[in-house]
Amino acid sequence: MGLSARGLFHVAPLQVEVRPVELRPLSSVSLTLKTDFSAISSGTERLLFTGQFPEELELDAVIPELQRAIGYPFAYGYSLVGRCVEVGTKVDPVLLGKSFFAFHPHQDVCRLPLERVMPVPDEIPLRRALFYPFLETAITLVLDAAPLWGERVAVFGLGTIGLLVTRILSKFPLANLTAFEPQSARRTRGLAAGASVCLSGPHESGTDNFDVVIELSGTQQGLSEAFRVVGFSGRIVSGSWHGQSPVDSGARTAFHRKRVTLISSQVSTIAPALSARWTKERRAAQTWQLLAITDLESDIAAEVPFEDSAEAFRSLISGAASGQIVLTYPE
């Protein structure tokens, strides 16, 4: 099948372009997806768009297309849903026309080995399937936080992942679940997601004794405030990538004097203490199961045609979109 492809590339700070991409040959165990939607990661992709990344780091340690040092031009993205339009000789043709999720950069057509795609269950709408990697991350954060009965928990930042973490934590028997978020529209979403209270910042709380703080603001201010409100011998789970930003000295002081446990959480791996029982396959199954019963489409704030990707990224950094931004790929 003669197919051409185009991908989204970061070509300079604050500048993205749609460019032609050469498709890999179709192997016997591969399939071709025509993309319906892809989702922009509001945290990582904002850092990449603004150029606030350490150049010595790989874009991603797991996704093959992203296992390269960061340097212009580069593609990024890890949430794509598409329809199978072509299969290799060893792939069952019954898959033609089926929908799949893939960890892949923003691109209108892509070819991948069958082992690197996941079928979207029939009961899950395609737009909701885009939330798979964000929900998988949220589950990992909660596993790392390990909240106990009756604990006081705070979440900093109500972007897509912060809202998902809040949804999950709202099912726990906590004494209190407080969310801190400067944007009022996001605070409204946080209350709908199950937070006990949503505040613009710790100055409204008067509380500095949280047992667990999950920091997802993506800002140094958020991390500093997390140290300020966590209680003595409490724990902070950091899920933000801060790029080149330095660590605030106030945070370092609180870390020392409060005997705080700082936990680094990242979805590519599962904590060693859990990995004997929590395999990636088990986590994936839990993620799809939760997606099937959770209406997340309302968390989509904007849908932008792939051709207008630059507009989507501008709204990302301007704060014009208070929720998830999705790229669409019209026929």
Task: Give me the tens of pLDDT residue by residue for the chain, a chain 331 residues long.
Answer: 568 899 999 999 999 999 999 998 999 999 999 999 999 998 888 888 988 776 666 665 566 666 566 788 989 999 999 999 999 999 999 999 999 999 999 999 999 999 999 999 999 999 999 999 999 999 999 999 999 999 999 999 999 999 999 999 999 999 999 999 999 999 999 999 999 999 998 888 777 899 999 999 878 888 889 999 999 999 999 987 765 555 564 566 676 678 889 999 988 899 999 999 999 999 999 999 999 999 999 899 999 999 999 999 998 887 767 789 999 998 7
Predicted local confidence at residue 3, as pLDDT = 81
Q: What is the pLDDT of residue 307?
A: 95
Among 132, 130, 100, which residue's Cα sits nearest to residue 38?
A: 130
180/287 Cα distance (integer angstroms): 25
Given a contact cutoff of 8 angstroms between Cβ atoms, the answer to whether 304 and 311 are in contact is: yes
Contacts of 114 by beta carbon, 8 Å cutoff, 6+ apart: 29, 30, 31, 88, 91
State the angle between helix axes of 132-145 and 280-292 in degrees (0 to 180), rounded to the nearest 10. Answer: 120
Query: Which residues, in sequence order, are CB contacts of 192 under 8 Å at separation 6+?
Result: none
- Number of C-alpha atoms within 13 angstroms, CB side, residue 98? 18
Q: CA distances (Å), 316 to each of 119, 155, 177, 193, 219, in order?
A: 29, 21, 27, 22, 15
